[in-house]
Structure formats: structure tokens, C-alpha cells
């Protein structure tokens, strides 16, 4: 974990984080060039943003690491943004505190007179010598006010007189010219920060956390949201269907491939008296803190991962014909049977061809997957009108986005095939696994193997003569097992 300070600071600003995270990380708080005990080149040219970025790169390499969790505040945040944009392979996670991306700052400042007023010191710092003189007057009174005064100062009382003396001693010993040259370099050599970093090709690719103190006297709160535009990945609008009153417990149904909400039509009808039933929804947006998650096929993959990584939001987990990541990897490594059944995952990596194959002859492949052997529904519960509903949906929306689930799984395997198999990410909530025994895509053994990956109470129910499409093929059995499980676990919760 690499901590990068801002102005006017040095490594000491991270004293609380050095203590907090040392048990889980090797925490390094660096003095940036020009600060503390680091070298202080004399030329403004040496404080251009690319050189500051390169300092971090060389430091990570010198520490014998390939990646880091990068944390930056103020000027350290500006450098952290630039580093994550230009050296993405070396940043595992990015955390930025009260520092906008250069792109966000330029866009906001050009439209906000109030932000320009708050940024007056940028212009003042371009003057030679005078800023250094003013900041050091009256025993560095300017510096003291920056940390303790009303407009900019720390409000919690956590900066003591001894802390202020530490900063004053450091800058009294080392001077202020080098730190102020950060600002001079940004304005005199702006191409990197305000041209290159604004290109669409330079978005931040890693998971990013932006923490913003809302009483910042130098930066407006709006810059936090604007900075998210430089992080890859956009807000995605999710469509969902709901049934049942909002004051009831939430039952979240997540479908698989090639499906949509309609696959849960029997469960929407069955459970609406007892639950608020929704699917593909951001839980917080409907005012719930917890839910029972039900996932089938790809929805099951997501449900497993959600229960592992967000356990506080999952009260119970119900899985239909979908193995946990650890169970799938273990089973595939021990035999060819499942690998042969998973042939389509390899096919789906090819561009365009799968889309063409699935849509030819009036979506014959889609129709066969639901109605023909070996994959199709066996009970006759899938009518022609049901099939037409699926054909209409994919005819209107296409197959590329659903197929991209499989493409992303193999192109970015770290989460599914490495992180989710960590012993620290076990499912701890009560879990029900329902398995149709005639699934042509998944071996029956995966149900029991998946149960072994659950740390909490787990129940496995097998349904004979049932295809992969469990909740549609045998809705009565599925609804029965779900209701028994929900009632049983509710009683335990009440006890």
C-alpha cells in the first residue's frame, strides 16, 4: 500500500493509516520529491507531472513489487490519478482523498467562478520567492492556519500542537520552493495533465474509491462526482420486475443465459404474498439493507459471488443449477466430463460468430435450448408463447451483451478464479442448492461440491427428470423447496 501526501505535508500525514493497515499490508508512506528527506531538484522542469509519476513507478520497482494499492491525498491524489491512468498494470486499487482528476478540475473550474476563487493560490504560487516568504513569516503562521484555522483546518481536533510543530520543523529545515514548484510545473508544462490525461484512452481501469471531506476550503464537493467520469465503467441502467409490497422482506431473483426476468414468472406469482420480489436491482435503491438472493445459471454465479463478497447484505442464498467458482474449478481439474459439457464457453470467446449462430433460422438455437433434447425443458411447462417471448427479447436487444459475460470471465479471470476461491471468502449464510439432475450443461456432482464451499447451514435438493431450466421445468418442486427453506430459516432467525 503506497501512500502519497499532498501540499504542504510529508509522510507524517499518513500516521494514522500507517498504524491501521500495517497488519494486512506493507504500508509505505513516501516523501514526494521536494518534500521531507527526499531529494529536491532545483528546476521547475523537474516537477512536471510525468516525473512525479515516474518517481512512484521507480519506487514500486525498487521495493520489489509489481502492483500496489495506491492512496493519494491533495497533490498526492493528482499524482495518483495520473499514475493509475498511465501505468494501469501497476495499480490494483486506487484510493483518492480530496483530489480531483485533472480532467474534472479543468472542466469544473472553467464553469465555476467559485472554484476559481478557491484556487487563487495556484496563480499566487507562480510568482517567484514571494509565496515562500509569506508562508514562512511569523513562525510559519500560514502553515499553522492551513492545519488549524477555520476555513482549511482540521475540524476534529486530531491535529495537535506537536503535530503542527512537526510540519513547521520539516519546512523550516527543507524550505518551501520545491513543494511550490509542483504548482509551477503544472502551469508551465500543462500538456501532460490537461491534454494527454483527458484522452478517452487514459481512463482509470482499476477499482477506485474517492473519499471527499465536504468542508474542504480549497476544492468544491462537485469535483468528487466529476472525477468518477475518468474511471472506466459507466452507471448501468438495470430493468427489473417487482411483485409484492415494499414493506415485505426482499426476494431478489437473478436470471441466467439466455434468459430475462420472465424465467422467474412462476416464482413471482408464488411468493408475492410473503415477499417483495425483484430482480436485477441495486438493493440500496429500493431501501433494503438485506435480501434473500436467488440465482440460476449465470445469475447463480453472480449470487455466489455476491454472498461471498457482500455477506452483510445477504440473509439467505438459494442457488438453482449453478456451481460455486471453487467447485467448478475443482471438478473441471479432476476430469473431462464437465470440460466437454462446457464447450460453448470456448465458442463464445469468438467475436460475432456466436451471435450469428444463435440468431439464424429464426433463432432455432435459442428455441432448441429451451424445448429440444438434451437441454430443453422436459415437463411441457415451456409453451410456444413462452419461446416467442425469449425470441422477441433477444431479437430486439441482441446477444452480444449476454455473451460478454462469458468473454469477460476468461479475459479477466482474477476475480472468479482466484479471489473467489480464497478461504476468507466463504458463504456464511443459510444456503439452499436446488439441482435438476438432467442438466446437459452441468454435472450433477457440482451440487455436492458447491455445498462443501458453504460455511453456514446448507441444504441440497435434487429434482429427477429436470433439465437445466429448473425454475421453469419443475416450478412446483422448486417453489416447494424454496418455501420450506425460507420458513425453516425464518424460524431459526426468530429463535
Other C-beta atoms lying within 10 Å of the C-beta of residue 275: 22
Helices (H) and strands (E) in the chain, counts: 23, 11
* 468: helix, strand or coil: coil
DSSP state of 46: G
Angle at the Cα of 491 from the Cα atoms of 489 and 493, rounded to 5 degrees: 70
Residues across the chain: 495
Element (H, E) at 142: helix 130-148
* 49: helix, strand or coil: helix
Buried/exposed 196-212: b ≥16 CB within 10 Å, e otherwise:
bbbeeebbbebebebeb
Buried/exposed 465-483: b ≥16 CB within 10 Å, e otherwise:
ebbbbbbbbbbebbbebbe
CA dihedral 123, 129, 130, 132 (to 10 degrees): 90
First to last CA, the chain: 43
CA–CA distance, 103 with 198 (Å, rounded to integer): 5
How would you classify the pairing of strands 28-30 and 2-4?
parallel
Q: Which residue in 343, 346, 356 sits closest to 400, CA to CA?
A: 356
CA dihedral 456, 275, 269, 486 (to 10 degrees): 30
Catalytic residue ranges:
297, 406, 468
Sheet holding 68-73, edge to edge: 28-30, 2-4, 68-73, 91-97, 208-211
Other C-beta atoms lying within 10 Å of the C-beta of residue 104: 21
Amino acid at each position: 500500500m503506497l501512500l502519497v501526501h499532498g501540499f504542504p505535508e510529508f509522510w507524517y500525514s499518513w500516521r494514522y493509516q500507517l498504524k491501521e493497515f500495517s497488519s494486512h499490508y506493507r504500508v509505505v508512506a513516501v516523501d514526494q520529491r521536494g518534500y521531507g528527506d527526499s531529494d529536491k531538484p532545483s528546476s521547475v522542469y523537474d516537477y512536471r507531472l510525468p516525473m512525479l509519476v515516474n518517481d512512484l513507478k521507480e519506487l514500486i520497482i525498487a521495493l520489489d513489487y509489481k502492483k500496489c494499492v495506491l492512496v493519494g491525498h491533495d497533490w498526492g491524489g493528482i499524482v495518483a490519478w495520473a499514475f493509475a491512468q498511465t501505468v494501469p498494470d501497476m495499480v490494483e486499487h486506487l484510493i483518492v482523498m480530496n483530489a480531483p482528476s485533472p480532467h474534472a478540475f479543468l472542466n469544473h473550474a472553467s464553469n465555476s467562478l467559485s472554484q476559481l476563487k478557491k484556487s487563487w493560490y495556484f496563480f499566487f504560487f507562480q510568482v517567484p520567492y514571494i509565496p515562500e516568504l509569506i508562508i514562512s513569516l511569523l513562525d510559519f503562521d500560514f502553515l499553522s492556519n492551513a492545519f488549524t484555522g477555520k476555513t482549511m483546518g482540521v475540524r476534529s481536533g486530531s491535529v495537535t500542537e506537536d503535530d503542527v510543530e512537526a510540519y513547521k520543523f520539516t519546512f523550516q529545515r527543507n524550505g518551501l520552493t520545491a513543494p511550490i514548484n509542483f504548482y509551477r510545473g503544472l502551469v508551465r508544462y500543462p500538456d501532460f495533465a490537461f491534454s494527454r490525461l483527458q484522452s478517452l484512452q487514459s481512463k482509470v481501469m482499476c477499482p477506485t474509491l474517492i473519499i471527499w471531506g465536504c468542508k474542504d476550503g480549497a476544492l468544491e464537493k462537485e469535483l468528487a462526482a466529476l472525477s468518477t467520469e475518468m474511471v472506466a465503467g459507466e452507471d448501468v441502467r438495470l430493468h427489473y420486475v417487482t411483485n409484492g409490497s415494499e414493506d415485505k422482506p426482499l426476494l431478489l431473483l437473478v436470471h441466467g443465459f439466455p434468459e430475462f426476468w420472465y424465467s422467474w414468472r412462476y416464482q413471482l406469482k408464488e411468493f408475492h404474498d410473503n415477499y417483495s420480489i425483484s430482480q436485477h436491482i441495486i438493493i440500496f435503491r429500493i431501501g433494503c439493507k438485506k435480501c434473500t438472493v436467488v440465482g440460476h445459471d449465470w445469475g447463480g454465479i453472480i449470487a455466489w459471488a455476491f454472498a461471498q463478497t457482500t455477506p452483510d447484505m445477504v440473509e439467505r442464498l438459494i442457488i438453482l443449477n449453478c456451481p460455486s467458482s471453487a467447485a467448478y474449478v475443482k471438478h473441471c481439474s479432476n476430469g473431462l466430463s464437465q470440460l466437454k459439457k462446457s464447450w460453448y464457453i470456448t465458442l463464445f470467446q469468438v467475436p460475432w460468430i456466436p451471435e450469428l449462430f444463435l440468431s439464424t433460422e429464426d433463432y432455432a438455437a435459442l428455441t432448441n435450448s429451451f424445448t429440444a433434447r438434451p437441454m430443453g425443458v422436459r415437463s411441457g411447462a415451456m409453451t410456444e408463447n413462452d419461446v416467442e417471448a425469449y425470441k422477441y427479447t433477444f431479437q430486439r436487444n441482441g446477444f452480444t451483451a449476454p455473451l460478454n459475460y462469458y468473454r469477460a470471465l476468461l479475459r479477466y479471470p482474477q476475480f472468479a478464479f482466484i479471489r473467489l476461491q480464497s478461504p476468507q471468502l466463504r458463504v456464511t449464510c443459510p444456503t439452499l442448492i436446488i439441482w435438476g439432475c438432467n442438466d446437459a450443461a452441468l454435472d450433477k456432482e457440482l451440487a455436492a461440491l458447491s455445498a462443501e464451499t458453504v460455511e453456514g447451514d446448507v441444504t441440497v435438493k435434487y429434482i429427477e427428470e429436470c433439465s437445466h431450466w429448473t425454475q421453469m421445468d419443475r416450478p412446483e418442486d422448486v417453489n416447494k423447496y424454496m418455501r420450506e427453506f425460507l420458513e425453516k430459516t425464518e424460524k431459526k432467525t426468530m429463535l
